[in-house]
Amino acid sequence: LDSGTGQEVRRMLKTLTPQSIAQLLESSPPRIRQVLWNLIDRDVEGEVLQELTDEVRSQILDTLDTEEMVEIMEGLDADDIADILQQLPERVVSEVLSAMSETDRLRVESVLAYDENTAGGLMDTDTISVRPNLSLDVVLRYLRRHEQLPESTDSLFVINRQGQYIGLLPLSKLLTTDPSVTVREVVSTDVEPIPADMRDTEVAQLFEKYDWITAPVVDENNRLLGRITIDDIVDVIREGADHSLMSMAGLDEEEDTFAPVRRTARRRALWLGINLLTALLASWVISLFQNTLDKVVALAVLMPIVASMGGVAGSQTLTVVIRGMALGQIGRSNLRWLLSRELGAAAMNALLWSLVMGGVAALWFDDITIAVIIVAAMLINLIVAAMAGAILPVVLRAMRIDPALAGSVALTTVTDVVGFMSFLGLATWQFS
Amino acid sequence: LDSGTGQEVRRMLKTLTPQSIAQLLESSPPRIRQVLWNLIDRDVEGEVLQELTDEVRSQILDTLDTEEMVEIMEGLDADDIADILQQLPERVVSEVLSAMSETDRLRVESVLAYDENTAGGLMDTDTISVRPNLSLDVVLRYLRRHEQLPESTDSLFVINRQGQYIGLLPLSKLLTTDPSVTVREVVSTDVEPIPADMRDTEVAQLFEKYDWITAPVVDENNRLLGRITIDDIVDVIREGADHSLMSMAGLDEEEDTFAPVRRTARRRALWLGINLLTALLASWVISLFQNTLDKVVALAVLMPIVASMGGVAGSQTLTVVIRGMALGQIGRSNLRWLLSRELGAAAMNALLWSLVMGGVAALWFDDITIAVIIVAAMLINLIVAAMAGAILPVVLRAMRIDPALAGSVALTTVTDVVGFMSFLGLATWQFS
């Protein structure tokens, strides 16, 4: 990618779609990313920008001035422009908006009025709507006056004189019905309008459940504001699913895989610091039993096993519960059943593996007391772990703390403390 | 849900959509699930079945006889029927197929010919195709002869006399173009046909990248076999994203949140057993240093901190790399950059937190030697952890082992062994 080959790369980039260029940028380290960006054709820059994840996009926006931004955003949809503007400082946003045409500005502003994680922030205002009293023939003639329909249009919206949403008119219906029929007779009311302030994750659940492709967004008076299409929803689903995975390791789902070293270090430092605190707590528990450890050194050898098995058993329960919550399956009514199922499964596995471990310990240290102690400690810790894994996410959610983020730290703290406490506590009681 | 209220529940179920009933079944414990299933209206059973996850569905299929199955599958799409049949034993499949009408059977068989995780297994054979030499007017009249178009039809397929795929004719194009124009003049060739044997995850990446709603599926001779629609892709994306999350805890992404206690226990037992083996390995490492532990009991108190911090640092790297792989961002060309970034970030955080921990240890045990040892051991373990977190998934993938499944166990083994070895090893060298 040195200066000499710039022309070749530029030619190569010309053959790629905006989506492929965006993927290439996301898969490149920061320095190369900037070089590539400078080689992209001006007229695809906007589309490429729109395909990027928030974090990579904001890196690139940082290098642009207002004039370049206005130029780049020409030709993008209102929702995509709003998406980009939401990442810019207040001052830049008003500059960009004032440089836009009147209609474009109003459109973008109507999307910007909503939080980016709501239906209003996701919607596109570019809709085609018709009145119920028209005949399909009139609708067909009206459509034919358009150069083209907005992207992914598969339905028209039927609204009344006050602009209130009545129903959908799918294009396929329009094409298979006798043109003399009126819109009112064929309007489909299957798809319920989405309130503009509904959370994007809830909207995604509706789309997934009902296999929608387009859905109308309305204000509190049922007036049609815009539409949400499935391609925006796919991003929400992807991010939501990534959220659980990344949060459980203390990471952000928008995290750039190729973030520079300092930013990466800074972001992860906090999580490691929190973990150090919980590890110190576990160490303090161990230190309470120093006298016993001094007498029976075998305890120091075996104690990590009790803590580790509790951690693994608990994290299995935790993962199932967090996933079930993300899918909207877990509520008050079935929590008790789930908890007893988890306790039952944990009890069976605790019995199996603690007995195996007891046998190993008896043979290894030739000491039946230590074997009995580790069996008892594992039984206690695995059952507590299952309880904690099932209850912690529910409690955290009730406290409005993200269970995917805080769950695993909280769980490890419990399983370490209980693991060391039960094993060394029982040993102290036996050996002193 | 006792016998008396059966009628009320049945009435309540009548008011729900098949999707809501499916969600209700998935959120119910096994016994209640069976009771609910028996209360569902016969004519929505098929649709409900099709909405269920594989595991819950197979539980219900186990309770049905062939005749009931044939009845239930009437009116479902070929791809949905194939989906269900793939879960049944050979004998039942042929019985069900022979009870179907000729056209339906051929359709279902053409989908069944492909693996369920390929484009062919996902596709629907219910397409509308037109020839390029027709005028749009003829196409419009042809469509009007249909009662309705197949679900989520947003485009027609343009094929030649040999049935080979040429391009798409979006309904929106059909509605905005002069009817005297021929199909050839407006056909869109943006969407490339998908080979029937392409993996479903690859298909999903294409849909996500290009915001497709429908795409054609072709055989090796470019003959049109069927179409894939975005609603099937949403399921693939959801499952793929869930896969990383669930695998990292040794769970299956299809796992039923409400599986009965014995099945849950059995499934998790293996994972706990594997973990017990790695924990025993770590214990064996500790046992090599029993003499030192006997002399300096403070080491037993502090050693879990070294292992735990390594585990957390490593799992952050591991999660980022596994997610990057799932998104198709990581390849040979950028792996070296990623590794050096991870090492750099790990070094910075290792320096920060090992010094903090060194300070705490010096104050706590009033012993500067122990403080120096823990600083050195944490530096070693955190850097090894980052290396292992970045390299392990790549090595595992090359060995065709799922990195999401095996990565976390392998990593914990490394960080435990290296953590205990470096800390106790350095201590033995100092104190003897």
Residue B186: what pLDDT?
A: 93
Query: pLDDT of A100-112, one tens digit each?
Result: 888 888 888 888 8
DSSP assignment letter at A223 = B
Q: Which residues contact B348 (CB under 8 A, 6 or more apart)?
A: A261, A262, A265, A269
Give the H/E segment covering residue A145: none
3-class SS letters over chain B: CCHHHHHHHHHHHHCCCHHHHHHHHHCCCHHHHHHHHHHCCHHHHHHHHHHCCHHHHHHHHCCCCHHHHHHHHCCCCHHHHHHHHCCCCHHHHHHHHHCCCHHHHHHHHHHHCCCCCEHHHHCECCCCEECCCCEHHHHHHHHHCCCCCCCCCCEEEEECCCCEEEEEEEHHHHHHCCCCCEHHHHCECCCCCEECCCEHHHHHHHHHHHCCCEEEEECCCCEEEEEEEHHHHHHHHHHHHHHHHHHCCCCCCCCCCCCCHHHHHHHHHHHHHHHHHHHHHHHHHHHCCHHHHHHCCHHHHHHHHHHHHHHHHHHHHHHHHHHHHHCCCCCHHHHHHHHHHHHHHHHHHHHHHHHHHHHHHHHHHCCHHHHHHHHHHHHHHHHHHHHHHHHHHHHHHHCCCCHHHHHHHHHHHHHHHHHHHHHHHHHHHHHC
Q: Given a cut of 90, is residue A343 above it in pLDDT?
A: yes
Spelled out in words, what is the top-level CATH class assigned to the domain A261-431? mainly alpha
SS3 for A4?
helix
Query: pLDDT of A228-248, one tens digit each?
Result: 988 888 888 888 778 888 888
A368 touches chain B (CB under 8 A): no
Residue entry with tokens 């919550």 = A325
Indicate the pLDDT class of residue A6, thresholds 50, 70 and 90: confident
Give the H/E segment covering residue A209: helix A200-210
* Displacement of CA B167 from its chain's centroid (Å): 31
Partners of A242 on chain B (C-beta within 8 Å) are 241, 323
Q: Given a cut of 80, is residue B365 above it in pLDDT?
A: yes
Indicate the pLDDT class of residue A304, thresholds 50, 70 and 90: very high
Partners of A403 on chain B (C-beta within 8 Å) are none
Mean pLDDT of chain A: 88
pLDDT, average across residues B189-196: 90
The token pair at B76 is 């479902």
Residue A352: what pLDDT?
A: 95
Residue B4: what pLDDT?
A: 57
Q: Which candidate from A143, A172, A250 shows the least CB-CB separation from B316?
A: A250
Q: List B residues 267-286 in contact with A (Cβ-Cβ < 8 A).
A: 268-269, 271-273, 275-276, 279-280, 282-283, 286
pLDDT, average across residues B363-390: 95
- Among the listed residues B84, B223, B211, the one whose alpha carbon sits nearest the alpha carbon of residue B154: B211
Partners of B175 on chain A (C-beta within 8 Å) are 140, 143-144, 149, 171, 174-175
Q: Give the minimum alpha-carbon distance from B163 to chain A in angstroms, rounded to a whole number.
A: 23
- Among the listed residues A405, A30, A31, the one whose alpha carbon sits nearest the alpha carbon of residue A253: A405
- Among the listed residues B385, B344, B338, the one whose alpha carbon sits nearest the alpha carbon of residue A257: B338
The CATH 3.10.580.10 domain(s) of chain A lie at 129-229
Give the CB-side neighbour count of residue A417, counting CA atoms within 13 A: 13
- The share of chain A scoring above pLDDT 90, in percent, equals 45
Partners of A412 on chain B (C-beta within 8 Å) are 308
Classify B211 in phi/psi space as left (phi over 0), alpha (psi -120 to 50) or beta.
Answer: left
Total count of residues recorded for chain B: 432
Residue entry with tokens 């319920």 = A192
Partners of A248 on chain B (C-beta within 8 Å) are 245, 248, 319
Q: Give the minimum alpha-carbon distance from A199 to chain B in angstroms, rounded to a whole number.
A: 18
SS3 for A5?
helix
Query: Do residues A233 and A136 touch, judged by C-beta distance below 8 A?
Result: no
The CATH 1.25.60.10 domain(s) of chain B lie at 3-116
Query: Do residues B427 and B373 touch, judged by C-beta distance below 8 A?
Result: yes
Q: Which residues contact B428 (CB under 8 A, 6 or more apart)?
A: B289, B291, B292
Partners of B404 on chain A (C-beta within 8 Å) are none
pLDDT, average across residues A201-226: 90
The ipTM (two decimal places) reads: 0.80
Q: Which candidate from B249, B297, B324 shows the least CB-CB separation from A316?
A: B249
Q: Give the minimum alpha-carbon distance from A170 to chain B in angstroms, rounded to a whole number.
A: 9
Query: Do residues B285 and B291 touch, judged by C-beta distance below 8 A?
Result: no
Q: Give the minimum alpha-carbon distance from A411 to chain B in angstroms, rounded to a whole number.
A: 13
Distances (CA, A) of A171 to A126, A155, A190, A195: 16, 5, 15, 24
Adjacency order of strands within the sheet including A224-229: A194-195, A214-218, A224-229
How do strand B155-159 and strand B165-170 relate by DSSP bridges? Answer: antiparallel
Q: List B residues 374-403 in contact with A (Cβ-Cβ < 8 A).
A: none
Burial (CB < 10 A; 0-12, 13-18, 19+), residue B179, is: middle
Of B58-72, B91-105, B153-167, give the range with the top mean pLDDT: B153-167
Q: Given a cut of 70, is residue A4 above it in pLDDT?
A: no
The CATH architecture that domain A129-229 belongs to is: Roll (3.10)
Q: Give the minimum alpha-carbon distance from A138 to chain B in angstroms, rounded to a whole number.
A: 12
Partners of A345 on chain B (C-beta within 8 Å) are 261-262, 264-265, 268
For B241, name the nearest residue in chain A, comparing CA atoms only.
Answer: A241
Partners of A279 on chain B (C-beta within 8 Å) are 304-305, 308-309
How many C-beta atoms lie closer than 10 Å to residue A286's C-beta? 27
Residue A243: what pLDDT?
A: 84
Say yes or no: domain A3-116 is CATH 1.10.10.10.
no
Query: pLDDT of A25-83, one tens digit each?
Result: 988 888 888 888 888 888 888 888 888 888 888 888 888 888 888 888 877 877 788 88
Cβ contacts from A onto B, under 8 A: 344
Residue A426: what pLDDT?
A: 95
Q: Give the minimum alpha-carbon distance from B116 to chain A in angstroms, rounded to a whole number.
A: 20
Computed on alpha carbons and rounded to an integer, the radius of gyration of chain B in Å comes to 29
Phi then psi dihedrals of residue A128, to 5 deg? -115, 125
> Which of A234, A332, A353, A409 to probe the B interface (max B CBs under 10 A)?
A234
Q: Which candidate from A173, A283, A356 shows the least CB-CB separation from B304?
A: A283
For B211, name the nearest residue in chain A, comparing CA atoms only.
Answer: A231
- Among the listed residues B228, B233, B174, the one whose alpha carbon sits nearest the alpha carbon of residue B204: B233
> Residue B394 and residue B397: Cα distance in Å, rounded?
5
SS3 for A168?
strand
> Which of A124, A230, A351 to probe the B interface (max B CBs under 10 A)?
A230
Total count of residues recorded for chain A: 432
The CATH 1.10.357.20 domain(s) of chain A lie at 261-431
For B413, name the nearest residue in chain A, comparing CA atoms only.
Answer: A308
Q: What is the largest CA-CA distance in chain A?
A: 96
Indicate the pLDDT class of residue B2, thresholds 50, 70 and 90: low
Partners of A26 on chain B (C-beta within 8 Å) are 327, 329
